[in-house]
Chains A and B, each alone.
Chain A
Amino acid sequence: KQEVTQIPAALSVPEGENLVLNCSFTDSAIYNLQWFRQDPGKGLTSLLLIQSSQREQTSGRLNASLDKSSGRSTLYIAASQPGDSATYLCAAPYSGGGADGLTFGKGTHLIIQP
Chain B
Amino acid sequence: DAGVIQSPRHEVTEMGQEVTLRCKPISGHNSLFWYRQTMMRGLELLIYFNNNVPIDDSGMPEDRFSAKMPNASFSTLKIQPSEPRDSAVYFCASSFRQGGYNEQFFGPGTRLTVL
Residues of A within 8 A of B (CB): 31-32, 34, 36, 42-46, 49, 51-53, 89, 91, 93-94, 99-107
Cβ of B28 < 8 Å from any Cβ of A? no
**Contacts from B to A (Cβ < 8 Å):** 31, 33, 35, 42-45, 48, 50, 55-56, 59, 91, 93, 95, 97, 100-109
B106 with A43: CB separation less than 8 A: yes
Can you report 8 A-B residue pairs in the complex whose CB atoms are below 8 A from each other? Answer: A31-B102, A43-B109, A44-B93, A46-B106, A49-B102, A51-B101, A100-B55, A100-B95
The distance in angstroms between the C-alpha atoms of A44 and B91, with both chains bound, is 9
Q: Is the CB of B48 within 8 A of A100?
A: yes
Q: State the CA gap A103–B45 with chains docked (Å).
A: 7
Say whether A49 contacts B109, CB under 8 Å: no
- Are B45 and A52 interface neighbours, CB within 8 A? no
How distant is A43 from chain B, measured CB to nearest CB, in Å? Answer: 4
Looking at the assembled complex, report how far the CB atom of A90 sits from the nearest CB atom of chain B, in whole angstroms.
11
CB contacts (< 8 Å) of B104 on chain A: these are: 34, 46, 91, 102
Across the interface, name the chain A residue whose C-beta is closest to B93.
A44
CB-based contact B56/A101 at 8 Å: yes
**Known: A43-B108, A44-B91. Contact between A101 and B45, CB under 8 A?**
yes
Distance in Å: Cβ of A102 to nearest Cβ of chain B? 6
Asked if residues B42 and A100 are in contact (CB atoms below 8 Å), the reply is no
For residue B93, which residues in chain A have a CB less than 8 angstroms away from its CB?
A: 44
Name the one of B59, B105, B106, B109 contacting A101, with C-beta atoms under 8 angstroms: B59
Least CB distance, B25 to chain A, in whole angstroms = 14
Q: Compute how far the CA of A36 lies from the CA of B109 in the bound complex, rounded to whole angstroms.
A: 15
| B35 CB to nearest chain A CB (Å) | 8
Q: In the complex the two chains form, is A101's CB within 8 Å of B42's CB?
A: no
Give the complex CA separation of A36 and B107 in angstroms.
13
Are B101 and A32 in contact, with the CB atoms below 8 A? yes
